[in-house]
Structure formats: structure tokens, C-alpha cells
């Protein structure tokens, strides 16, 4: 079974035998894959045993409410990241060995794509102190090639373990309150929200690539996930324009993304104040995210453009400038 976003929050209760059967099964699935969590449970059990040797101790009556209050206090971006990680783990659990050679939309096999995600997760984690395991390479394709040489024979074993360790490092970094890190392939120092949202975004994108390769339906993120991911994806539009080799136009765009998790944003493309908006682009929020990921064409977006039509098409063309594999 897959690990839900809050399973790590339940380790203390698990050590005290304070969970129901479903929660126990979920945490034990986590322990099988995460040595750090297993060690933490042992530490907690030893502490509980020592205390029990000196005085009778019952779990606090409000233990469960304390644990779930902590979960509710998570930042939206960390909750979204944990959801994406949990969904990816559940997908990996469902991939048969016989399907690892199936081709995905970006030319990699399913197994190679699993390794690619380990390469990308570890690249970001290494910028916040995660030990370098394979290579110092930061170019996406070159780094992926290095990781494939290391893990292509065992993507669901060693490759998955490396990915999982990197997700734990990023989770712990975010939980510690640290605010900024670098995107290794651009060298830009960005906020925690952008780091975690982009990682969640890539996990969702490649999970869909794997689903399609396996003959399954694509899945849309939940409303909270879309709210965070679309906010970040719209906010980086000016950087997408310049990354596409264009001079930032002296203009402002209003992005209206419809559907659960969408919203409306006014974005200055050159960073200056503008009296009004030059163009309004209206489209479905999931379609916009898939356009940013370069998984659908401009025509497939079914976007409505009001105002400067040429500028609207340029924006949709540049939206996918940061997409890699």
C-alpha cells in the first residue's frame, strides 16, 4: 500500500501502540522503505521502555489530537510535497517488473524515469546538504545519464531507495524552518515554497507519464495541490519568458485559471508597474499546469485570449520554457 502524507507524523503513536489497524499498516509500510523512520521508532520504544521501568505511563489522552494538530500546522507547500511523495510511492508499488521497459512520452522507459526522478530529487537535496551519492553533475540530461549508469538495473530497488532518502532530506529541511535553497540546474536561490512546489509538480508530471505508459488514465492533483502549484507556475512566468531567449516585454498579463485550485493573477513580465493588463489568458488550471510541463500543445490548452493576441500566444509558448524531460 502507499504511504499517506502524514504517516511520518504517526511514528510516536506507533511506538506507543496507540494507532488503529489501518494506521499501523500504513506506518509499517513506511518502515520497510525508510531506515531513518525505523530507527526513530526503535529510539522511541527504548525511551518508552525506560520510562515504563520507573513508573507506569499511559499515552496522553490527547495524543492523537496533538499529532493531528501538528499535521494541520504544516505549511501548504510541505503538505503538497508530502502528498506528491505519497502518491509516487503508491504508484511505484503498483508497477510490475514486466512494465519497466515500457516507453514513456519523453523517450525514457518507465524504469529509467523512476531513476530520473531519483537524480532530480537528490540534485535539489544536495543543495541543502544531502550527501552526494553519484555525481556532481547538474545538467538534467547528463545527471540522469550518470544515475542510469548506476541504477538502471534496479530502479525499484536501489534507485527508489536513493529517491526516498532525498525526499526525507527535503522534508526535514522544510520542517526545520529553512526558507531558501538553490535550483541546481539554474543556480537560482528560491524560496521553500518554490522548491517544494516544483518538486511536487515534477513528480505529478512524471507519474502521469508512467500511468500513460502503463495504459492507465492520467490523474489531476487535488485542489490544495493545484492551488500551490499553479500559484508558483504563474509566478515564474517572467523567468520563463527570459529563459526562452526573449526580452521581457513591457507588459502585464492577467492569468485566469478556472476550476478547483485555480485563481486569477496579474503578472508584470518586466517587473515594472503597469496601468492595466495588456492581455488576459483564461484556461483550465490543470491544462495550464500540463502546458507548463510541456505535456499539451497551445492548441490543446483551449485557452481564450483577450487583448494582445500575439502576446498571449507568446506567453503560452514560453510557459513550457523550463520543462526538461
Domain of 108: which CATH number? 1.20.120.450
Stated pTM of the model = 0.77
The phi and psi torsions of 248 (rounded to 5 degrees) equal -60, 120
What cell was used for 219?
Answer: 490523474
Percent of residues, the chain, with pLDDT higher than 90: 65
pLDDT at 38 over 90: no
CA-CA distance, 312 to 316, in Å (whole number)? 6
Q: Which of 219, 253, 271 is the last residue of a domain?
A: 219
Residue 43 is part of which domain span?
A: 7-72
Residue 15 and residue 99 share a domain: no
Task: Examine the domain organization and report whether 81 and 67 are in the same domain.
Answer: no
* pLDDT band at residue 179 under the 50/70/90 scheme: confident
Domain boundary among 41, 72, 103: 72
Q: Is residue 11 pLDDT above 80, yes or no?
A: no
Q: Cβ distance 282 to 253 under 8 Å? A: no
Mean pLDDT of 275-304: 96
Domain count of the fold of the chain: 3
Is there a single domain that holds both residue 98 and residue 120?
Answer: yes
pLDDT at 162 (0 to 100): 96
Structure confidence at residue 242 as a pLDDT band (50, 70, 90)? confident
120, 208: one domain: yes
Given pLDDT bands bounded at 50, 70 and 90, which one contains residue 262? very high
Q: Is the pLDDT at 33 greater than 60, yes or no?
A: yes
Q: Are residues 90 and 50 in the same domain?
A: no
Any domain includes 224: no
Whole-angstrom Cα distance, residue 317 to residue 96? 37
Is residue 128 one of the residues assigned to a domain? yes
Q: Which of 52, 72, 92 is the last residue of a domain?
A: 72
Whether 15 is covered by a domain: the verdict is yes
CATH number of the CATH domain containing 279:
3.30.1050.10
pLDDT of residue 237: 92
Per-residue pLDDT band at 24 (split at 50, 70, 90): confident
Amino acid at each position: 500500500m502507499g504511504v499517506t502524507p502524514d504517516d511520518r507524523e504517526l511514528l510516536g503513536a506507533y511506538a506507543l501502540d496507540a494507532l488503529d489497524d489501518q494506521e499501523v499498516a500504513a506506518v509499517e509500510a513506511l518502515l520497510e522503505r525508510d531506515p531513518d523512520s525505523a530507527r526513530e521508532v526503535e529510539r522511541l520504544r527504548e525511551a518508552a521502555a525506560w520510562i515504563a521501568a520507573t513508573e507506569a505511563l499511559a499515552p496522553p489522552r490527547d495524543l492523537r489530537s496533538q499529532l493531528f494538530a501538528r499535521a494541520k500546522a504544516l505549511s501548504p507547500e510541505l503538505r503538497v510535497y508530502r502528498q506528491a511523495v505519497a502518491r509516487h510511492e503508491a504508484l511505484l508499488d503498483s508497477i510490475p517488473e514486466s512494465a519497466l521497459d515500457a516507453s514513456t512520452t519523453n523517450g525514457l522507459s518507465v524504469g529509467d524515469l523512476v531513476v530520473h526522478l531519483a537524480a532530480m530529487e537528490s540534485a535539489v537535496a544536495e543543495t541543502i546538504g544531502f550527501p552526494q551519492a553519484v555525481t556532481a553533475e547538474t545538467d538534467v540530461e547528463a545527471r540522469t545519464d550518470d544515475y542510469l549508469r548506476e541504477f538502471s538495473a534496479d530502479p525499484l530497488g536501489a534507485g527508489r531507495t536513493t529517491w526516498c532518502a532525498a525526499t526525507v532530506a527535503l522534508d526535514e529541511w522544510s520542517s526545520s524552518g529553512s526558507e531558501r535553497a538553490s535550483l541546481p540546474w539554474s543556480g537560482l536561490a528560491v524560496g521553500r515554497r518554490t522548491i517544494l512546489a516544483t518538486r511536487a509538480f515534477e513528480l505529478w508530471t512524471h507519474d502521469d507519464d508512467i500511468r500513460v505508459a502503463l495504459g492507465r488514465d492520467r490523474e489531476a492533483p487535488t485542489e490544495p495541490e493545484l492551488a500551490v502549484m499553479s500559484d508558483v507556475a504563474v509566478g515564474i512566468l517572467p523567468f520563463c519568458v527570459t529563459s526562452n531567449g526573449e526580452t521581457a516585454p513591457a507588459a502585464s498579463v492577467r492569468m485566469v485559471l478556472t476550476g478547483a485550485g485555480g485563481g486569477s493573477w496579474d503578472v508584470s513580465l518586466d517587473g515594472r508597474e503597469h496601468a492595466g493588463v495588456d492581455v488576459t489568458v483564461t484556461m483550465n488550471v490543470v491544462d495550464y499546469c500540463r502546458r507548463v510541463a510541456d505535456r499539451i500543445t497551445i492548441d490543446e490548452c483551449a485557452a481564450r485570449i483577450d487583448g494582445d493576441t500575439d502576446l498571449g500566444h507568446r506567453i503560452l509558448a514560453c510557459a513550457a520554457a523550463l520543462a526538461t524531460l
